[in-house]
A and B are shown apart, each in its own frame.
Chain A
Amino acid sequence: MKNTVETFGKMIYKLAPEHPGVVRDLLKSVYKFEGTKSRIAPSRPLLPARRYLYNMTANSICRGFGQKGTTALVSIFLPCQVLHAMGIEAVVAEGLSCYLTGAAAADYFIEIAERNGIPETLCSYHRILIGCIEAGVLPRPALILNTTYACDTNQLSFRRIAEYYDIPQYVVDVPDKPTADNLQYVADQLREMTDFIEQHTGKKLDDDTLRQRMLWTQQATQSYRAYLDARATRYIDNCMTSEMMDILATQILLGRRETAKYMSMLAADVARLPEGKRGPRLFWVHVLPNVNGPLRQLLDYTGNVDIVGSDLNTAALLDVDPDKPYQSMARRILESSFNGTIEKRIENSYQYADKLNADGIVYFCHWGCRHTLGGSQYAKTYFEQRGLPTLVLDGDGCDRGRSGDGRAAVRLQAFLEQLEHSTGKDK
């Protein structure tokens, strides 16, 4: 399998300079195939809900590679309910790059980005995104919409892409505290963003459709909470990728009927599993490096180690009021644990780690993600003072040149041994 992927990656590398269109079609068919395969004949023992999820995310990525001028490029915390209501596909760097790396196709795009002057210290999800666009493989989006957090990177790369292709861009400026004034400020901008989308796409937003999207958002949120409740005492034989794919479901895919369905399937699937734990239960902070072979060996489908949750999936599990869509979306943005100072994010992670009965925390320092990096030592102290052993792990979520393969695995393995020992599970 690994070799097939590698060969595919090499083929992409050879074809991309002369035939970006061919590469685009190839990627589309691979993702289409992968999506269908995970639905009907997954190569791993996936829960039915996760099979549904993989198919859903693969289709979404495929649509991202669809017709020029039909998609919107968004940042991970941008509320997309309005886009879904108007039938516009949202493309997000984290999802796209994760899929491209999965097909070993990211190297070329990283190279293009660096050759075009993008600093190599920039977060690799965005270097791949910029490379993929500037290589002419990702079709020109109709719009760019982004919030000013979670990071500096998205502001920089989206501005660059907007200028490169002359794409209309709307930026939601997000203050750092959820005060009443700030709530109003953000809600007003979200309304303005809707006008902006209408104006640039010629589509009209129907209020009832938006209301329905908010209802599905609420259902999905409730189901995800129910899933977490059940998860607190249960084990799943899972992998980093499913936690990564959940990020798409808990953020940009919120507000779709399928997402609500997925979340309720997930809650039901997990509730049916027997109670009890196996090996160490890990709570993960930040993205998951599912490109790193040695780490996958330690974490994916081990029948033992369990990644019980992650901070990106628990950043803003807030109720929404379908009758006040803009206020609700604004509140989710402002109150997200990723908005504001690092302490807020770390406290939130601790609460969920505790709730999910984690034995330890892996704090993943994705190269280029300075907010995460800067908070690493503070987080370690905070978690450990509260009794949760913490591993600060340096690496890269999707740039294989920086993922530091072997060394990260040694450290993680030692950490797992430490946890097994301290929880009395040493066999």
Chain B
Amino acid sequence: MIAWNCKYTPVELLCALGAEPFFWNSAADDFGYAQRVAHGSICCHVQAFLQNCRDKGLREVVLVNCCDSMRSAYGILKNNGDLDFIFLLDLPHKVGGCAQNIFKKELFRLVEEYSKFKNTVFDSDKFKAAFPVTPKLLPQENFIAVAGGRVSDSLLAEISAQLPLPVADLTCAGTRLLGAPTQDIDDFDALMDWYASELLSLTPCMRMHDVSGRKALYNLPGLSGIIYNTVKFCDYYAFEYDALRKETKLPILKIESDYLPVTGGQLSTRLGAFAENAAFAQQAGDKKKGSAGGYVAGIDSGSTTTNMVVLAADGSFIGGVTVRTGPRAAVGANKAFAAVKEQLGIDKEQLDYLVATGYGRNAVLSADQTVTEITCHARGARHQNSDVRTVIDIGGQDSKVIGLADDGSVSNFVMNDKCAAGTGRFLELMATTLEMDVAEMSSVGLGWKDDLTISSICTVFAESEVVSLIADNRTAADIVHGLHKSVALKTAALVGRAGGVPAYMITGGVAHNAGVVQELEKKLREKLIIPDEPELCGALGAALIALDKVK
């Protein structure tokens, strides 16, 4: 068995030499070994490959010198002595005649080295038989493509399971549509010429010089939506995504794969929101209830607070509550129900329809439906101000930017990555370091004099920067202002990535923070709309969706 991982690998040639090639594209359980022999900031697919080579005991490997991470992985694998055979194929970046000739010479080199290693010769029948009779075809009906950088087998399965349409893998690892030779070519040199040219004519990946052939991928008949993936610490595909999101009319969702086991949370929120908003959305999970109690509600179960909004059956606003979530989402929800009873005098049984949203939405067992916070925020924001085109929500654990189409539907959204920088949590942590509470922090920063910049991006490092600024006798006002700038900077970058346009509305608890709002307004060169109760926006959207159900 010989492992390969790039579509330009001459798999059929390996078969002709008596090898048993298998496509190796799995996630790893962890990266302990990979980070010991390489580095934690190289491409995660390559880290997984290194890790699996050892964990799964691979003996033979053919790599392509695709990128810098791969090139260094080859050096490591070759020298750590764990493998019996390793080969690095030099793939040209251009595809014309001269490049093809260079590539053919590489195929010869592989033949020479592998036949020496295995003591075999090229078998032309095996070569022909290795081509699939009918190459893997794309779905005939409407489908969603996973495109961009590769996704692991398990991630692809997870995505397929969560979407309402068939999913086709159009990533760099998934589009190897290679046809068999149509006529007999007896001369080996001529055969390899043909083969080199076939391989180089595959739909180019972003690593190739001329990528214009990729346009065809996004114009395939039946293509109804795109999940665009980038691999963590791979830069190739982020560039294509940036261009594609501006051009395509199809619904598009950006995800990042890290080649570790798939963990639910953020991914399912994103996929859920994508499925809800895209044109192919189905009316899933609808259930209509009677209208006995006369009220509907939305509950937004966030990591820090749980918010709930109650509307009367005629749509009028009854009220909203906010409670701390505590350690478990279900507990937070119960506290919210209790608060609604106490403050608004409405019993859980009086709710005709309850929509749960937020990261703990699935823990609200009494909900009639769950909807992602993306959809709910969009709905809530638009309801409060019909000019809004971009919602900026800075929540406790994640911040997100949602672009709205003219009709108020979600046109695009981005969320921050897994780290806390630029979120409410970041400010909370810094407030603790500065020994003040969050509310105090909001006003203190306004009195700054010296324009400090907190340059560290990571929360942990920013904290130590703050500690040294305190030691430096900088005033709290200056430091807080620096922190506000840092949050504003992160958020503005997110707005840029989402292609956000005015009017902007800011929601979430951080909207109360005048310092952050001011800095963000500076960055965006635009006033922000702040709703009356910014933290209730998601719950309000959920309540409005509930209202639709009983109307």
* Contact partners of B75 in chain A: CB under 8 A: 341-343, 374-375, 378
Tell whether, in the assembled complex, residue B72 and residue A173 are in contact, meaning their CB atoms are under 8 Å apart. no
Q: Out of A116, A343, A374, which one reaches B242, CB within 8 Å?
A: A116
Given contacts A373-B41, A374-B71, A378-B37, contact A121 B233 (CB under 8 A): yes
Tell whether, in the assembled complex, residue B71 and residue A341 are in contact, meaning their CB atoms are under 8 Å apart. yes
Tell whether, in the assembled complex, residue B79 and residue A378 are in contact, meaning their CB atoms are under 8 Å apart. yes
Given contacts A171-B209, A374-B42, contact A185 B71 (CB under 8 A): no
Shortest CB distance A208–B (Å): 29
The answer, yes or no, to whether A177 is at the interface (CB within 8 Å) is yes
Given contacts A121-B233, A375-B72, contact A114 B239 (CB under 8 A): no
The answer, yes or no, to whether A365 is at the interface (CB within 8 Å) is yes
Tell whether, in the assembled complex, residue A177 and residue B98 are in contact, meaning their CB atoms are under 8 Å apart. no
B440-477 Cβ-contact flags toward A at 8 Å (1 or 0) = 00000000000101011100010010001000000000
- Complex Cα distance, B237 from A122, in Å, reads 12
The answer, yes or no, to whether B324 is at the interface (CB within 8 Å) is no
Closest to B495 in A: A115
Tell whether, in the assembled complex, residue A181 and residue B101 are in contact, meaning their CB atoms are under 8 Å apart. yes
Tell whether, in the assembled complex, residue A117 and residue B72 are in contact, meaning their CB atoms are under 8 Å apart. no
Given contacts A111-B489, A160-B239, contact A371 B68 (CB under 8 A): yes
Tell whether, in the assembled complex, residue A373 and residue B493 are in contact, meaning their CB atoms are under 8 Å apart. no
- Complex Cα distance, B65 from A371, in Å, reads 11
Given contacts A171-B94, A401-B455, contact A406 B468 (CB under 8 A): yes
Interface centre among A151, A181, A341 (most CB of B within 10 A): A341
The answer, yes or no, to whether A404 is at the interface (CB within 8 Å) is yes
Shortest CB distance B101–A (Å): 7
Given contacts A177-B90, A181-B101, contact A151 B68 (CB under 8 A): yes
Shortest CB distance A186–B (Å): 10
* Contact partners of A175 in chain B: CB under 8 A: 90, 92, 102
The answer, yes or no, to whether A125 is at the interface (CB within 8 Å) is no
- Complex Cα distance, B519 from A111, in Å, reads 14
* Contact partners of B94 in chain A: CB under 8 A: 171, 173
Shortest CB distance A107–B (Å): 7
* Contact partners of A118 in chain B: CB under 8 A: 238-239, 242
Query: Which A residues between 262 and 281 are near B, CB-CB below 8 angstroms?
Result: none
Number of residues in A with C-beta < 8 Å to the partner? 53
- Complex Cα distance, B210 from A173, in Å, reads 12
Closest to A174 in B: B93
- Complex Cα distance, B72 from A369, in Å, reads 11
Query: Which B residues between 230 and 280 are near A, CB-CB below 8 angstroms?
Result: 230, 232-233, 235-236, 238-239, 241-243
The answer, yes or no, to whether A417 is at the interface (CB within 8 Å) is no
A100-136 Cβ-contact flags toward B at 8 Å (1 or 0) = 0000000100010011111111100000000000000
Tell whether, in the assembled complex, residue A117 and residue B451 are in contact, meaning their CB atoms are under 8 Å apart. no
* Contact partners of A173 in chain B: CB under 8 A: 92-94, 99, 209
The answer, yes or no, to whether A176 is at the interface (CB within 8 Å) is yes
* Contact partners of B455 in chain A: CB under 8 A: 400-401
Tell whether, in the assembled complex, residue A111 and residue B39 are in contact, meaning their CB atoms are under 8 Å apart. no
Interface centre among A114, A173, A402 (most CB of B within 10 A): A173
Given contacts A152-B68, A370-B68, contact A377 B38 (CB under 8 A): yes
- Complex Cα distance, B88 from A119, in Å, reads 28
Shortest CB distance B33–A (Å): 11
The answer, yes or no, to whether B36 is at the interface (CB within 8 Å) is yes
Interface size class of B (residues with CB under 8 A): 35 or more
The answer, yes or no, to whether B67 is at the interface (CB within 8 Å) is yes
The answer, yes or no, to whether B43 is at the interface (CB within 8 Å) is yes
Tell whether, in the assembled complex, residue B67 and residue A156 are in contact, meaning their CB atoms are under 8 Å apart. no
Q: Out of A121, A155, A156, A377, which one reaches B39, CB within 8 Å?
A: A377
The answer, yes or no, to whether A148 is at the interface (CB within 8 Å) is yes
Tell whether, in the assembled complex, residue A156 and residue B235 are in contact, meaning their CB atoms are under 8 Å apart. yes
Q: Out of A107, A370, A400, which one reaches B42, CB within 8 Å?
A: A370
Tell whether, in the assembled complex, residue B65 and residue A401 are in contact, meaning their CB atoms are under 8 Å apart. no
Closest to B35 in A: A377
Tell whether, in the assembled complex, residue A371 and residue B235 are in contact, meaning their CB atoms are under 8 Å apart. no
Tell whether, in the assembled complex, residue A117 and residue B242 are in contact, meaning their CB atoms are under 8 Å apart. yes
* Contact partners of A159 in chain B: CB under 8 A: 211, 239
Query: Which A residues between 1 and 60 are near B, CB-CB below 8 angstroms?
Result: 10, 17
Tell whether, in the assembled complex, residue B238 and residue A367 are in contact, meaning their CB atoms are under 8 Å apart. no
* Contact partners of B464 in chain A: CB under 8 A: 406
* Contact partners of B496 in chain A: CB under 8 A: 114-117
The answer, yes or no, to whether A376 is at the interface (CB within 8 Å) is yes
- Complex Cα distance, B43 from A367, in Å, reads 12
Tell whether, in the assembled complex, residue B238 and residue A374 are in contact, meaning their CB atoms are under 8 Å apart. no
Given contacts A114-B496, A173-B92, A181-B102, contact A152 B37 (CB under 8 A): no
- Complex Cα distance, B72 from A343, in Å, reads 8
- Complex Cα distance, B238 from A194, in Å, reads 32
The answer, yes or no, to whether B423 is at the interface (CB within 8 Å) is no
* Contact partners of A343 in chain B: CB under 8 A: 75, 78-79
Query: Which A residues between 144 and 203 are near B, CB-CB below 8 angstroms?
Result: 148, 151-153, 155-156, 159-160, 163, 171, 173, 175-177, 179, 181-182, 185, 188
Query: Which B residues between 188 and 243 are near A, CB-CB below 8 angstroms?
Result: 206-207, 209, 211, 230, 232-233, 235-236, 238-239, 241-243
- Complex Cα distance, B350 from A140, in Å, reads 66
Closest to A392 in B: B39
The answer, yes or no, to whether B76 is at the interface (CB within 8 Å) is yes
Tell whether, in the assembled complex, residue A370 and residue B65 are in contact, meaning their CB atoms are under 8 Å apart. no
The answer, yes or no, to whether B172 is at the interface (CB within 8 Å) is no
Tell whether, in the assembled complex, residue B71 and residue A371 are in contact, meaning their CB atoms are under 8 Å apart. yes
Tell whether, in the assembled complex, residue B209 and residue A341 are in contact, meaning their CB atoms are under 8 Å apart. no
* Contact partners of B241 in chain A: CB under 8 A: 117
* Contact partners of A375 in chain B: CB under 8 A: 72, 75-76
* Contact partners of A181 in chain B: CB under 8 A: 101-102, 105
B19-46 Cβ-contact flags toward A at 8 Å (1 or 0) = 0000000000000000011110111001
A388-416 Cβ-contact flags toward B at 8 Å (1 or 0) = 00000000000011101010000000000
* Contact partners of A111 in chain B: CB under 8 A: 489, 492-493
Tell whether, in the assembled complex, residue B238 and residue A373 are in contact, meaning their CB atoms are under 8 Å apart. no
Tell whether, in the assembled complex, residue A119 and residue B235 are in contact, meaning their CB atoms are under 8 Å apart. yes
- Complex Cα distance, B39 from A119, in Å, reads 19
Q: Out of B92, B238, B461, which one reaches A404, CB within 8 Å?
A: B461
- Complex Cα distance, B42 from A269, in Å, reads 41
Tell whether, in the assembled complex, residue B37 and residue A377 are in contact, meaning their CB atoms are under 8 Å apart. yes
Tell whether, in the assembled complex, residue A148 and residue B38 are in contact, meaning their CB atoms are under 8 Å apart. no
Given contacts A173-B92, A370-B68, contact A153 B235 (CB under 8 A): yes
The answer, yes or no, to whether B74 is at the interface (CB within 8 Å) is yes
Query: Which B residues between 144 and 191 are near A, CB-CB below 8 angstroms?
Result: none
Query: Which B residues between 78 and 123 are near A, CB-CB below 8 angstroms?
Result: 78-79, 88, 90, 92-94, 98-99, 101-102, 105
* Contact partners of B451 in chain A: CB under 8 A: 10
Query: Which A residues between 188 and 243 are near B, CB-CB below 8 angstroms?
Result: 188
The answer, yes or no, to whether B52 is at the interface (CB within 8 Å) is no
Interface centre among A107, A117, A378 (most CB of B within 10 A): A117
The answer, yes or no, to whether B73 is at the interface (CB within 8 Å) is yes
Shortest CB distance A112–B (Å): 9
The answer, yes or no, to whether B69 is at the interface (CB within 8 Å) is yes
Closest to A111 in B: B489
Q: Out of B69, B74, B456, which one reaches A341, CB within 8 Å?
A: B74
Tell whether, in the assembled complex, residue B72 and residue A152 are in contact, meaning their CB atoms are under 8 Å apart. no
- Complex Cα distance, B101 from A370, in Å, reads 29
Chain A to chain B contacts (Cβ below 8 Å), 16 pairs: A111-B492, A119-B230, A153-B235, A155-B207, A173-B93, A173-B209, A179-B105, A340-B71, A343-B75, A368-B235, A370-B43, A376-B39, A400-B455, A401-B456, A402-B457, A406-B468
Given A114-B496, A342-B75, A374-B76, 5 other A-B residues pairs in contact with their CB atoms under 8 A: A121-B233, A155-B207, A173-B209, A185-B98, A377-B39
Residues of B within 8 A of A (CB): 36-39, 41-43, 46, 65, 67-69, 71-76, 78-79, 88, 90, 92-94, 98-99, 101-102, 105, 206-207, 209, 211, 230, 232-233, 235-236, 238-239, 241-243, 451, 453, 455-457, 461, 464, 468, 489, 492-493, 495-497, 525
Shortest 10 CB-CB contacts between residues of A and residues of B: A374-B72, A115-B496, A117-B242, A371-B68, A342-B75, A370-B68, A373-B39, A119-B238, A401-B455, A114-B493
